Amino acid sequence: MRMLRDLRRARWVLGALLLAWLGIAYWQTHKSLAPGTHTAAGWQPVPQSALKFVADLTAADAYGRPIVNHGILDEVLSVIAGARDFVVIDCALAEPLRAALIARKRALPQLHVVLLIDPIEKGYGAEDTARLEELQAAGLEVVSVDLDRLRDSNFMYSSLWRMGLRWWGHGSGPGWILNPFSLGPPRLTLRGLGRLLNFKFDRRAVVVADDGAGELAAVLASGNPASADNADSNVALRLRGSVLQPLLASELAVARFSGWGGSIAPQSAATDTPTTEPVARAQVLTEGAIGDALLERIQASARGDGIDIAALYLAHRAVADALLAASRRGVSVRLILDPNEDALGTSRTGIPNQPTASEIIAASDGAIRVRWYRTHGERFRGQVALIHDPERLWVTLGSASLTRRALDDYDLDANVAFEVDLTSALARQMLAHFDTLWNNRAPAGIEYTADAGVFADPSQVRYWGCRLMEALGLSTF
């Protein structure tokens, strides 16, 4: 009899734990979005001279020697050098960037510098934080983003973690467990590993500041501004004007829900200086608003239009389906993808791009064309979508990959979208950049991209495994 009572009690306990787990899983995947996220700012007119496209590009010559061209870091350093009132930066710090911030703060002690970082930069307590402490000692405000405020993508694990493992804290002291991923420090504490398995990151690569002349200036990039030893290919847009006010508001809101208690009151005017030069229109997008805008544009494309996309990851089901539908309507679709053989967290697996691209090519009967960027240990973070009709070019670029976590409000990402006349210099530059990679218009011996068949992967096991990982939030991309 006692054994029966114990069995019933155990069932009640297990049932209660299961209900708690299900309740937490539902709430943490459907809870209200954190302040400053899912920003969908209205369109604003912007002088075309206020928009500047920049690319970091890595290739290899005929002997396999890397050829690296960097320009994004210079633009970021220029924005910092022009600031008189404040700088808000949300990205990992390469050494030149760290040195520039400290030097600018010393030159202008009244300058407000707010640095938002992903907690992984501190190794969740296992990493040496001497560099961050140096920034704080120099007067910079360092804010570790509270990623727990975001929704859970890896809900099967994250719900269990929130029920019990979370209360272990953030961990401290040297790491002793080998990090199973390419993310973060090589070794973690047990508590740090527990947090990492939530697969939740701040991927924004943003710097926004005043320009010293009454306006806002910013650089939004597809990845962290690189130092000389970083060979990743990235793209970025430098822009200025009141169109950046929603971006600044978003960054400050993220800082506040992460514990920052300061304030920044930009002295810039609310309106831009009138101009007679050609005008584009632009808007700031973050998190799920990026996916909404992209899907709306793809779905509105018609026969004769063109869609050119470069991406580190392509795994979002709605995006893939929308591209297939557009192709059936007679839209030209071209994709340049990283083969994911050197990409963060997917080393040598080819997931998700290889099986996803193979499926898209087959489902479109080859109408959707794919080329692979030839990486040599680095990553191709093109992260740009170009959609054009006979008159206008619509572009979005920034940190967001085409994945569930980036486009469905799970990670922190920031993009800018803009629209210009197809005959404008900016439109010609961006289309020429894509065509240069697509057609391998490079000095002899350099090949930017390879044919689709080079990395084709028709394996149904890997394809459905990728789909399952994406749906359950078990992917690191």
Express as a percent the part of the chain with pLDDT over 90: 60
pLDDT at residue 344, as a whole number: 52
Q: Which of 207, 242, 257 is the last residue of a domain?
A: 257
Please indicate, yes or no, whether residues 364 and 222 belong to a single structural domain of this protein: no
Q: Which of 207, 222, 257 is the last residue of a domain?
A: 257
Is 13 within a domain? no
Can you say whether residue 9 is alpha, beta or left, with left for phi > 0 and alpha for psi between -120 and 50 degrees? alpha
Closest CA relative to residue 334, chosen from 326, 344, 346 = 326
pLDDT digits (tens, 9 = 90+) for 453-465: 999 888 888 888 8
CATH number at residue 238: 3.30.870.10
Can you say whether residue 20 is alpha, beta or left, with left for phi > 0 and alpha for psi between -120 and 50 degrees? alpha
pLDDT at residue 265, as a whole number: 76
**Residue scoring higher pLDDT (18 or 8):** 18
Contact 330, 303 (CB under 8 A): yes
DSSP class of residue 390 equals S
Distance CA 276, CA 285 (A): 27
Please indicate, yes or no, whether residues 322 and 459 belong to a single structural domain of this protein: yes
Please indicate, yes or no, whether residues 223 and 354 belong to a single structural domain of this protein: no
Residues 58-77 have a mean pLDDT of 85
Distances in whole angstroms, Cα of residue 188 to Cα of each of 82, 160, 193, 239: 39, 20, 6, 38
Statement: residue 51 has pLDDT above 80:
yes
pLDDT at residue 346, as a whole number: 46
Is 34 within a domain? no
**Residue scoring higher pLDDT (305 or 446):** 305
Residues 170-179 have a mean pLDDT of 69
Please indicate, yes or no, whether residues 338 and 194 belong to a single structural domain of this protein: no
Please indicate, yes or no, whether residues 299 and 180 belong to a single structural domain of this protein: no
Distance CA 5, CA 11 (A): 10
| Identity of residue 392 | R
Please indicate, yes or no, whether residues 101 and 246 belong to a single structural domain of this protein: yes
Q: What tokens does 379 get?
A: 């990553």
What lies within 8 Å, CB to CB, of 92 at 6+ separation is 117, 118, 121, 224
Strand partners, 310: 336, 384
Name the 3-class secondary structure at 450: strand
pLDDT at residue 458, as a whole number: 83
Residues 390-414 have a mean pLDDT of 96
Statement: residue 24 has pLDDT above 90:
no
pLDDT digits (tens, 9 = 90+) for 342-374: 755 444 688 899 999 999 999 999 999 999 999
Distance CA 289, CA 409 (A): 8
Long-range pairs, 191-196, Cβ under 8 A, ≥24: 191/124, 191/125, 192/123, 192/124, 192/125, 192/126, 194/161, 194/165, 194/166, 194/168, 195/119, 195/124, 195/161, 195/170, 195/171, 196/120, 196/124
Strand partners, 111: none
- Least confident among 35-49, 54-68, 249-263, 351-365: 54-68
Distance CA 468, CA 475 (A): 9
Contact 279, 420 (CB under 8 A): no
Please indicate, yes or no, whether residues 242 and 345 belong to a single structural domain of this protein: no
Please indicate, yes or no, whether residues 213 and 316 belong to a single structural domain of this protein: no
pLDDT at residue 149, as a whole number: 95
Contact 91, 128 (CB under 8 A): no
| Torsion sign over Cα 46, 52, 53, 55 | negative
Residues 264-292 have a mean pLDDT of 79
Is 306 within a domain? yes
Distance CA 420, CA 81 (A): 29
**Residue scoring higher pLDDT (129 or 440):** 440
Is 12 within a domain? no
pLDDT-derived band at 127, boundaries 50, 70, 90: low
Name the 3-class secondary structure at 90: strand
What lies within 8 Å, CB to CB, of 74 at 6+ separation is none
pLDDT at residue 47, as a whole number: 94
pLDDT at residue 269, as a whole number: 47
| Identity of residue 316 | H
What lies within 8 Å, CB to CB, of 433 at 6+ separation is 53, 55
Please, what is the end-to-end C-alpha distance for the chain in angstroms?
52
Phi, psi (deg, nearest 5) at residue 252: -70, -35
- Least confident among 207-221, 355-369, 434-448: 434-448
Is 104 within a domain? yes
Distance CA 34, CA 42 (A): 20
Is 50 within a domain? yes
Q: What tokens does 415 get?
A: 């993009």
Please indicate, yes or no, whether residues 305 and 450 belong to a single structural domain of this protein: yes
Distance CA 155, CA 162 (A): 10
Please indicate, yes or no, whether residues 450 and 309 belong to a single structural domain of this protein: yes
pLDDT at residue 345, as a whole number: 47
Residues 142-162 have a mean pLDDT of 91
Please indicate, yes or no, whether residues 343 and 239 belong to a single structural domain of this protein: no
Residues 270-280 have a mean pLDDT of 67
Q: What tokens does 232 get?
A: 């990743």
Statement: residue 242 has pLDDT above 90:
yes
Contact 338, 58 (CB under 8 A): no
Distance CA 424, CA 427 (A): 5
What lies within 8 Å, CB to CB, of 384 at 6+ separation is 222, 235, 309, 310, 395, 396, 397, 430, 434
Is 31 within a domain? no
Task: Look at the chain and report how many structural domains it folds into.
Answer: 2
Please indicate, yes or no, whether residues 335 and 250 belong to a single structural domain of this protein: no
Q: What tokens does 179 get?
A: 């990090």
Q: What would you report as the CA-atom Rg of the chain, rounded to the nearest whole angstrom?
A: 23
pTM of the model: 0.92
Distance CA 307, CA 454 (A): 22
Distance CA 366, CA 347 (A): 27
pLDDT at residue 275, as a whole number: 64
pLDDT-derived band at 219, boundaries 50, 70, 90: very high
Instruction: Report the mean per-residue pLDDT for the chain.
Output: 88
**Residue scoring higher pLDDT (27 or 393):** 393
Is 317 within a domain? yes
pLDDT-derived band at 93, boundaries 50, 70, 90: confident
* Domain that includes residue 416, residue range: 283-472
